[in-house]
Structures are given as C-alpha cells and as structure tokens.
Structure 1
C-alpha cells in the first residue's frame, strides 16, 4: 500500500546541507499498522511528510495505493491538481491536533469536506457520522478549548477520515497525551484499522505504542532504516536491536563459571512452563536475572535473561533443549569475549551486533553425540 524507494531528503541550512533521509526503502502492506520508531533527529517526521509529499523528496519515489506520488508533484512549489486529488485519499493526524479554535468541533471536521466542495447538508451529515465513529457525537457544538487532549485528538482523527482515505498517517499522535488517554487513542486506531480496512503508518518514539498496536515496525537511525519486519519476526531475530528495545532485560553473571542466556518467548511457547521443565529435566538451578513480558497483537511475547551454572561448554545440551521447545536462545558474552566463537561469528554476520551470540541450531540429542565423540 505504501512503498518508498531510495528516498532522500536534504535540507539547506545556511551554507551547508543537512541530510534528513538517506536512501530509505519502506514497504507497508495493505491493511497493516506499521510503526516507525527512533530518537529525535532520526528522520521519522521527514519520512512521513514525504509520504504525502508535504515535503518534496530530494530523490527517490513514493508510491501509495499503486500511484507514484512523486510523478504527480510537478516542478512548481504548488501541488499539482493530480497530487491534491491523490492526497484526499491520505489522511493525516498531527501531534498537536491543529484544530481551529474559532470553529466548533463539527465545523473542524467539516473543513476538509468544505475544501473538497461537498454541499452543506452532505458534509454536515458526514461530519456527524465521523464524530459518532470516534465517540464524540455529543461534542459536535463544543469548541476545541472546551475539550481534553484526548478528545481533541479524536476530532483530529475524525477530520483525517473525512475524505474516506485508504491510508492514515499519524505523526506522534499520542506523544502529548497521558498514558490512559494514549491507550484509548491507540485502541481507536486499531478499531478503525479493522472496521474501515485502513492502512496506518505511524511515527513514534514510544516503544509501548509499537507493542500495543503495530503489526510491523522499523527502526530509524540517522536518516536510515536499520531494521524492519513484523514485530514477531523481529523478536525472533538474533541480535535484533529493536527487539531488545521493545523488551529490555538486564542482569550480569554472578560469577566466572556461569552462562547467561537471553530467551525469547513467542507463539504457543510463551504459555508453556519451559524454564521449570528445563530445571527438572537436567536437575540444574536456574536464576532469572530479568524478564519482560507483554501482549502484542493478542499474543503473549516476551524475553527473559537467565543464568545457568557452569560455562558454555557445560550448558550446550540445556540450551539446545530451549531451542527444541521453539524458543530463541542467545548466549550473552562476558567482558572476556564470547564463550562460543562459532555462534558469535554467526550473530555478527546476521545482525552486526557484538552483544550476543547465537547457539547453533542443534537438538540436545545431536549435541550429546558430538560431545561424546
């Protein structure tokens, strides 16, 4: 539904150039909620504003619903007629609401319909319908100054839906809201996604937003996308920086003869007592150094850092047991370097991250045979 290819954006700042986007390739599938996360200055807002060409890309292409918007831009500073028509199918929700204080709630929602030339009775009917959809039918005659932050954002969402868009862009829509209101707005976006079949691209710096609502996500750093994929897929990727940010765990080995392992739970394995089974099966004491569990997309997902007695060589079979149960297990290195050189090399090649090593995909039985040999 949304595709960017080789997208760059360079701003002129006095006598120098500032690169906000550096070859961004993004693909958002139809009907999904896709989150782009990163620190301030990573290029997130520039990206979302380039998607509807509020900012003209320096180079690259933007395609929405099969239509190349960059080809419609024209050469002048004003948007072409074709681009303006394409934008009506792309709604946008802003961080600071951008409501007109002199207009009632109903009038604010009617505004885009008025610009599109919709007749008075029809745009009023449509605006009331949208206010009912976002749960604010009783606030139609109120003014923005009489609303809470969450209510203002609901008006902003209703206004963004006025043109019956296929795509909804959200630029930090919840960052100015308290946690409870944030949850209600995210639930509203999820409901709209399911009821209207909306494809939603949202920009955020809040990991909880990604965990709560997103089907897929991308991590931006210095104008580039450094990781992307489904949330579940990222969690199952060894060395994923985004997975570590979504479910942070900490803790260090209590002694030199200990093995620390990061275990990722997802799917059916998340509801199984795997750690207790491991302890009973191999008669070992397991220390839990840290854990982070949550529900993502209706499924329980999480990460746990555990400590096993003995060095890596003594724990190859127990770690293989974890993998056999469908879990992702990464051996955490100590300051002296990796305990498993082969796993370290594999992780470095796949993730470019020296923080963890991945145990080779072997079952306990196969590993036992190798040890005996």
Structure 2
C-alpha cells in the first residue's frame, strides 16, 4: 500500500507526467458531417501537481480527459503518460491491446456519476478492478479495506451504494480508482453532482491523496471554486483549444488573464470622466502588506476602492482589487510604477489620456494599457 498520511505538501517537480502534443479529435456523423472536439491541444502536467482544466459545456474538456487514457482514440497527435506513448500502444483495432491495458492500470479514473454497481457491496465495488488484475480473494479483501480506510469509509464496507450519500459514493469511486496503485488520477467533473459542503470535503480528500500518495491529478471542471481549492496549475479551454494555461500564481500575476478575472472577479465603474481605474493583483507576501495605504501616504493621493476579492488558493493568500486614482493616466504614471515595484500585478482598466499599448487586444472592456509585476 502507499505511504501513510503526512502533513507535507506533495512535491511538484518539473518532470512531465502527462503530455499531449497536437491532440485532435474529430467526430464524424453518418451523413458525413464533422465536429472537431479537440483542435491541436498541447497539455503538460508535472509530477505531483493537481492540474485543473476549466471550460464551459462543449469546450472539449471531457473529450480531452478521455483521450488521456485512450477511452477515446485521438484522430491525430500523441498522448504520453508516465513516460509511455499511449497512442503508440493503441494499435489499429477498436479494442485495447494487452500493452495498453497494462499501461492503463497506472491511470485511475473518477467519474461524475460514480458508476458503482448497485448489486455489489462497497467493498466488492472497490475489489472489481483487483479481480481484473488477478489478485486472490484474500489480497482483494485486504487491499479494498485499506483503500476504504484511506477515503474514510472503513465502516461502510458491507453497505450497498443505495445506502450511501452522494459524497460517500464518490469516495467509493475514488477508492476504486486507487486500486491499481496509479501514478495518475483523472477526475471527470467528480464534484459537479454534489452539494457545496460535500464538494469541499471531496476536494480536500483529493488534495490529501495528492500529498499522501504523491499522486499527479488531472481534473476537469466548470467550477472556479475547484481551482481555488486544490489546483497548482490550470488551463482554460474554448472550442476544443487551450487558450490559457500556467501555474495558478503565474496566471494571477498575468495582466489580462481571463482565468484570473474569473477566479477573482472585481467590478466597479469610474466615478467620473477624469479618473484612472486600475486592477491590482496581490499574491505571495504582498497579499498581507498595506501597499495601498502606503501609496496614498507616499504620494498624497486619494484612492477609492471600487471592488475587492481575496481568498486562499493552493495554500497561498491571493486577492484582486479595483482602485480608482484621480486624474488622467499621465498624472498617475509614478503611483502606478510604485505598485509595480512592490511586486503587484497591474492591469489598467480605464486610463483617459493613455496611448494604446502595443499588442493590446482589448479583452476587457475599456482596457488600454497592460502592465505586469516586475
């Protein structure tokens, strides 16, 4: 069995455990029409991290995660998991060959709707993959009980799925996914059918397993709260493509990041025509420093706070604030420079008199100039 629980955070290395290159999946209907679900997706998940893929329904998230373990065969591109090119093992037929099946035992999968067998007890559900692996009855029973204890359900071994809550069913699903001692755990919207309180407990379990077992976890979700709670890195998908990706701290520090705006939405309109509005991202040590009050004292400037949001992300305190400075942009160059020098992420939302920055795409309404932490 894996190592016992510990309080230490799982070490994230630079070793890629899941890599997709130019991954494409095209579905063809009987009348010849084609639908592109994945369009050249490149994904790099490092050893020991929890990686979240976000996107709305139809973005391609579920297709991506099913292509990672080749439950869906990609139309083109490659999938490498734990150093093995799974696409090279797939063969040409519709059924998985012996090599691919062996490689899949190192990949656990947790499903949205649990997929438990109602006629089997909780323990027997966990034992199912162990039967397929050929373990003896005694070995299956011992390991299943250890896994149920790991997910906090040791007392439910003789129960049936109908006797469990949604959260308990998902814990059984997680225990079953761990039966093959996987290196990688895939989670397909594992919390979307659960209430908020149960969602938090299941996410905490996933983070605990990441820490205790050194699991690399790839999860897909449409909920930003999932990223806040457990993810080290994240990617945003739209129309079959990854439009933005990186570690959560990097994304929060990137001016114009759509993920940062979604994670920490701030609102507020300028109080007058001649005002400069700035979005400020706090992370690391800056999250607890009185930077804004120092700015007001140092430059004798009146600062209005139009909106703010702060939370703990992956164990770090992070926040965003929308502030208003009096006067046009040229009168606020020095105060804005001061904020950048403090290591804050800066995004100019409204700046009368400012020249449009090179390469600015205008992803936020009224965005004129972008700046980043130095």
Alpha-carbon displacement from aligned partner over 1:131-174 (angstroms, at most 9, x marks no partner) = 00000000000000000000000000000000000000000000
The CA deviation at 1:329 is 1.3
Which residue does 1:201 correspond to in 2?
218
Quick check: which one's helix share is greater? 1
Partner of 2:367: 356
- Contact 2:50 / 2:218 at 8 angstroms: preserved in 1? yes
Question: Aligned match of 1:217 in 225, 234, 240?
Answer: 234
1-side partners of 2:191 and 2:373: how far apart? 44
In 1, the alpha carbon distance for the partners of 2:343 and 2:77 equals 40
1:340 Cα offset (Å)? 2.3
The within-5 A match list for 1:37-116 is 37-116=54-133
The separation in 2 between residues aligned to 1:148 and 1:93, in whole angstroms, is 16
Task: Give the TM-score normalised by the residue count of structure 2.
Answer: 0.93
Q: Structure 1's 339 and 106: CA in aligned 2 closer, same or farther, altered over 3 A?
A: farther
TM-score, normalising length from structure 1? Answer: 0.93
Given that residues 239 and 347 in structure 1 are in contact (C-alpha distance below 8 angstroms), is that contact kept between their aligned partners in structure 2? Answer: no
> Alpha-carbon deviation of 1:353?
6.3
1:340 aligns with 2:358: no
Which string of whole-angstrom CA distances, capped at 9 and with x for unpartnered residues, describes residues 214-272 of structure 1? 00000000000000000000111111111111111111111111110000001100100
User: How many Å separate the matches in 2 of 1:217 and 1:6?
Assistant: 18
CA–CA distance in structure 1, aligned partners of residues 366 and 46 of structure 2: 32
Q: Give the SS at the match of 1:313.
A: helix
1:244 to 237, 257, 261: 261
Look up the match of 2:144. Answer: 127
Cα distance between partner residues in 1 of 2:366 and 2:61: 26
Match of 1:2 among 18, 43, 67: 18
* Counterpart mapping for 1:229-308 below 5 A: 229-308=246-325
- Residues 58 and 224 (structure 1 numbering): CA distance in 2 closer, same or farther, change over 3 Å? same
> Unaligned stretches of 5+ in structure 2?
1-16
Distance of 1:39 and 1:59 partners within structure 2: 24
Q: Could you tell me how far 1:357 is from its partner in structure 2?
A: 4.0
Change (3 A) 1:128 1:243: same
CA distance in structure 2 between the aligned counterparts of 1:67 and 1:261, rounded to whole angstroms: 47
Whole-angstrom CA distance in 1 between matches of 2:92 and 2:372? 55
* Bigger mean CA deviation after superposition, 14-23 or 44-53: 14-23
Residue in structure 2 matching 1:28, options 18, 22, 45:
45
Contact preservation (8 Å) 2:119, 2:160: yes
Pairwise CA distance, 1:275: 0.9
Give, in whole Å, the separation in 2 of the partners of 1:158 and 1:93. Answer: 9
Structure 1 runs (4+) greater than 3 angstroms displaced:
351-355, 357-363
**Alignment partner of 2:273: what SS?**
coil
Deviation at 1:29, TM superposition (A): 0.4
Question: How has the CA–CA distance of structure 1 residues 299 and 145 changed in structure 2, closer, same or farther, with 3 Å as cutoff?
Answer: same
How many residues align? The count is 357
Does the 8 A contact of 1:11 with 1:20 survive in 2? yes
8 Å CA contact 1:347–1:357 kept in 2: the answer is yes
Please tell me whether the aligned partners of residues 333 and 339 of structure 1 are also in contact (alpha carbons under 8 angstroms): no
The separation in 2 between residues aligned to 1:77 and 1:14, in whole angstroms, is 18
1:55, CA displacement in angstroms?
0.3
Alpha carbons of structure 1 residues 283 and 144: separation in structure 2 relative to 1, 3 Å: same
Structure 1 residue 168 and structure 2 residue 185: aligned? yes
